[in-house]
A and B are shown apart, each in its own frame.
Chain A
Amino acid sequence: LAAMTGGAAQAGEGLEPNSWEDVTTYCNYYEFGTGKGDPSANAHSLTTSPWSVTIDGMVDRPGEYDFNEILSEMTIEERIYRFRCVEAWSMVVPWNGFELADLLNMAGVKDGAKYVAFETLYRPSEMPGTQYRVLDWPYREGLRLDEAMHPLTLMATGIFGKPLPNQNGAPLRLVVPWKYGFKSIKSIVRLTLTDKEPPASWNMANPGEYGFYSNVNPNVDHPRWSQASERPLGGGLFARRKPTLMFNGYEEEVAALYDGMDLTRFY
């Protein structure tokens, strides 16, 4: 953990992290219930050890990788990122993790692969929320390969220098800071390299409201609410709204990924 404070610290410059309580008691993890407090109340039932991640599809070294084996190969660093939920609230989270690019390189991405598909664990015996079909389980997400390889894209294994609490997606989750939070899929058990745009849970549930890209964009509203501003959590009952930043404030780093794309169409 010595290297935890290295790397892209510039991405977190000037950001004041929310409290441990904010980050760990206010979660969207529908496998444990749809209330914001449900995951912290219910996720203790999740067994995260042993844990393995299947990496398959268009890779040179497909297989089932033990989580500890992955960790031993990776360099953990701290990244303080803005976190913007599609529901128009936001936090600042100090993550610990490694770049997704490093994991993908470990498995060796084959030529022709264009996307990465992700899958969350689906284990009804430990996930009380899955008895309702709130979504089509297991939870699935996807990134374009260039998004996945971007140096800001993180595989988080911890917060505040501690291992990820279950409700935050233990033991391994994605963090894509310029996209709405639901893209940052939790408790990952599978990554599949593919040449087709993979299915994404919220997009499947309601394609008119949730697109594949889901980039934070104050100019493209969610059909049911405006995305122009957000409520930063942690400020109590009288917290002021603040304007939402294009790509959640990471425009300089990621805007080039979407050059020439109509972001109102590819939302």
Chain B
Amino acid sequence: MMVDGLNALLRKVPTWGIYLVGALPVPWLFYQGLTGGLGVDPIKALEHEYGELALQLLLIGLAISPLRRFTGISLIRFRRAFGLLAFLYVSCHLLVWLVLDVQLPDQIWADIVKRPYITIGMIGFVVLLPLAITSNNASVRKLGPRWRQLHRLTYLAVLLGALHFVMLVKGFQIEPLIYLGVAVALLCLRIKLPSRRILA
């Protein structure tokens, strides 16, 4: 079957390859920003690129189990890589905001507490922290079933991330709403409906 063939092929892809290819845009975009490739406002552009990639990687991570359920294609081996890469991009996004964009330490704190979209983005980052720290085999063994529970926080993080995007744009814009829609859809696929009893 085609799916089996595809899965066999995917098993040959080393996970380090995903990490490598997935992390390449970090230095590449930074270099582009330095050399004018990101346009007139490289700070905002870099901040946005890192943030959007983080959101995309979180959504890919969330799509992996529905993909297997509906098509049989299994990317489960790469889910940790996508999750950790998402965390890498969220961290870069945050660093650009702190160091290159806002710059002023007192304004950073004021923004975090006063601006709801920043508060929400910041909570999203904090939620991802324990997930990144426990994304290793030792933690999976040590935490046992609690590991799965803990990692359901991804659902919250992706919603916060999409909401953060929706809240920061001006006017009525479609793109962030598409991200939020995809996130909500992927989460809805996880809701287990109680089996309905058919009454005669």
Chain A positions within 8 Å of B, measured between CB atoms, are 21-22, 25-26, 30, 34, 36-37, 87, 89, 132-135, 205-206, 221, 223-226, 228-229, 231, 233-234, 236-241
Contact = CB atoms under 8 A, between A and B. Distances in A.
A239 to B, nearest CB: 7
A87 B101 CA distance: 12
A233 B107 contact: no
A231 B101 CA distance: 8
Nearest to B96: A237
Nearest to A231: B43
Contact of B111 (A37, A225, A234, A240): A225
Contacts of B172: 132-135, 205
Interface in B154-185: 167-174
A29 to B, nearest CB: 12
B110 interface: yes
B100 A238 contact: yes
Given A22-B40, A36-B41, A237-B100, A134 B115 contact: no
Contacts of A237: 30, 33-34, 42-43, 46, 100
B103 interface: yes
B152 to A, nearest CB: 30
B41 A241 contact: no
B133 interface: no
A34 B107 contact: no
Given A36-B39, A233-B40, A238-B100, 13 more contacts: A34-B173, A89-B41, A89-B44, A134-B171, A134-B173, A224-B117, A225-B115, A231-B41, A231-B101, A237-B42, A237-B100, A239-B43, A240-B103
Given A224-B117, A241-B104, A236 B42 contact: yes
Interface residues of B, number: 31
Given A36-B41, A225-B111, A237-B43, A135 B101 contact: no
A35 to B, nearest CB: 9
A130 B33 CA distance: 30
A26 B168 contact: no
B111 A25 contact: no
Contacts of B104: 229, 241
Contacts of A36: 39-41
A236 B34 contact: yes
B100 A205 contact: no
Contact of A25 (B39, B117, B170): B39
A226 B36 CA distance: 27
Interface string B17-46: 000000000000010011010011111101
B183 to A, nearest CB: 21
Contacts of B40: 21-22, 25-26, 36, 233-234
B100 A34 contact: no
A221 B115 CA distance: 11
Contacts of B36: 236
A26 B174 CA distance: 21
B42 A226 contact: no
Given A225-B111, A229-B104, A135 B171 contact: yes
A229 B39 CA distance: 21
A228 B53 CA distance: 30
The 3 closest A-B pairs by CB, nearest first: A26-B40, A134-B171, A237-B42
A189 B131 CA distance: 55
A38 to B, nearest CB: 12
Given A226-B107, A229-B104, A26 B39 contact: yes
Contacts of A225: 111, 115
Nearest to B169: A34
A87 B39 CA distance: 17
